[in-house]
Structure 1
C-alpha cells in the first residue's frame, strides 16, 4: 500500500484509539489516583513492548539514546501524568478538545527550534482547526461551569511536549523503525515510573476489590492498545508523513471522545458538533495536496 493511503488509515485508526483513551482514564480514576494511573500505564506499556520487541533494543545505536530519552519523557512520560490529573478534574471530552492544540504547537516549535518550514495553506488550516477548538472550549465551559479549568493548563503543557516529541522523532530518529523507537522509549521510562508508583504507597495500600481490579483492567487496555500499539503506529505515521500531518490526529480525537462522553452522560451541544466539522475542515486544509 502506498504511503499516501497508509497515512490516512493510520490517522483515523489512531483517532479512534486515542479518542477512546480519555473515557478509559476517567473510569480508571474512579478507584486509582492520577499519579497511580500515569505510572501504572507506563509500566504496563513497557512490559507489553518488551515482550513483543525486546530484541529491538539491540538495533538502537549509542547516538540514538539521548534523543530517545528526550523524546520519551517530553512526549509520553510527563503527559501521562498531566492528562491523568486533568481528566480527574474536567470532563474527558473537554480534555480531548484541549489536546487539539498539538498541531499548532507542532508547527510553531517545529519552525522555531527544528528548522521545519510550512506552507501558508498549512498555517491557515491549523488556525481554522484552532477556531473550531476554541468554540468547543468556550461552549464546554458554558455547559460545565463547575469544572476546574486550572487543570486545562496541564493539557497545554502536555501538547507542547507532544510538539517537541513529533519534531525530535522526525529530525533525529528517522533512521530507526517505529517499534525500536517505542521499545527504547519505554525501556528508559519504566524505572522512573516504578519509583513514582512506589512513592504513592500503591504496593502497601492496594486491595484486590472489584473497583480496583476494574481500574487496573481499564489501564491495561489503555496501556496495551492506547499507548503501546498506538505509539508504534504513530511513530510510523511520523516517518511516512510530516510532523503537522501526524499531529493533526488530535483534531479528530475530540469527535470520538465527545461521542463517548455523550454515551457516559456528559453534556454536549449542537454547537460543539458543528465545531467538530470546522476541525475536520482544518485537517483537510492542512493536508490537502497541491
Structure 2
C-alpha cells in the first residue's frame, strides 16, 4: 500500500472508533431508535448531493428493493442495536465485539453462497467466537443492570453486517459503491422515521448529544463511507478489511481519553483472541511465502 492509503486506513479506523464514543455520549438522551434515525438521515444529507452530482440517482430507483434490505441490515438495525448497547457497556467493549463482523461474514458466505471454508478459516471462526465467550463470560449478566443484553445486541448487529455484506455482493455488485452507501442510508432513514417519532425523547436532548449525533451522521457515516469505498477501489477488500483490527485501538483510546473508561487485562486478552480469529477467518493468516 502507498503511504496515502495507509493514512486513509488509519483515518477511517479513527473515525469509526470514534463512533462508539459518540454513541455513548448521545444514546442516553436520544434513545437508540431516534439516535439511529438521526444518524442515517444526516448521512443522507451528505451522500445524496454527491450521488446526484455524479448522475447516479437512477441507480437508486432500479435497485430499490435490495437497497432497502441492505439498509435494514447494514444500518437501521445495527445502528439501533449499538446505540442500545452504548447505554450499558463501554465503547471499547462494543468495538471489540464489532470486530467479529468478518467472522459472521465468512459464516454467512459459507451457508448462503456456498463459499468454501478452509481448515484455517474454520479454526479462525472457532478462535474468534471463543474470544467472544471469553470476553462475555464474567460480564454477560441478564439481571437488571447487567450487560448481557447489550453484548447480545452487539453480536446481533455484527451478524446483520455479515448478512448485509453478502447480500450486497450477491444483489448489488452491478451498481456503484456510492449508490449502495447512499441507497442503504436512505432506506434505513425511511424505515426508522416512524419508530423514531414514536420514541422521540420527551425532554429535548442537550447540546453535547446533538453534536454527537451530528458527528455520527456526517463524519462516522457519510465521510467514513466515502473513505471506505475509495479504499475498496484502490487497495481491494482484503487490505481494506485491516480496518477491523484498528477500530478497537482507537475506540479504546477515545473512551479512555474522553470518558475515562478502563481497559482491563481481561479485555486486552479477549480483544487479541477475537482479532486472531478474525485474521484466520478472513484469510490474512497464515501468510503464504
TM-score normalised by length of structure 2: 0.81
CA positional deviation for 1:17: 1.8
Q: CA deviation at 1:118?
A: 3.7
Q: Gaps (5+ residues) in structure 1?
A: none
Contact 1:103 1:163 survives alignment (8 Å): yes
Q: What residue in structure 1 maps to residue 95 of structure 2?
A: 96
| 1:228 maps onto 2:231 in alignment | no
Gap change, CA 1:248 and 1:162, over 3 Å in 2 = farther
Per the alignment, residue 16 of structure 2 pairs with 18
Q: Which deviates the most, 154-163 or 10-19?
A: 10-19
Structure 2 stretches lacking a partner, 5+ long: none
> 1:157-204 CA distances to partner (integer Å, 9 max, x unpaired)?
2111100111112222222222121112223233333333322345xx
Structure with a larger share of its residues in helix: 1
Secondary structure (helix, strand or coil) at the match of 2:174 reads coil
- C-alpha change, 1:233 and 1:191, in structure 2 (3 Å) is same
Deviations 1:58-113 (A, max 9, x none): 34175522221111111111111111111112222222222222222111111111
Whether the 8 Å CA contact 2:110–2:116 is kept in 1: the answer is yes
Q: Match for residue 271 of structure 2? A: 276
Task: Evaluate the alpha carbon distance shift between residue 25 and residue 196 of structure 1 in structure 2; reply closer, same or farther with a 3 A threshold.
Answer: same
Q: Is 1:219 equivalent to 2:220 in the alignment?
A: no
Deviations 1:102-140 (A, max 9, x none): 222111111111233343333333444444444333465
Where do residues 81-230 of structure 1 align in structure 2 (5 Å cutoff)? 81-138=80-137, 147-201=146-200, 205=202, 207=204, 212-230=206-224
Give me the CA root mean square deviation.
Answer: 3.1
Aligned residues: 279
- Alignment equivalent of 1:265, drawn from 256, 260, 268: 260
Separation of aligned partners in 2, 1:123 and 1:14: 29
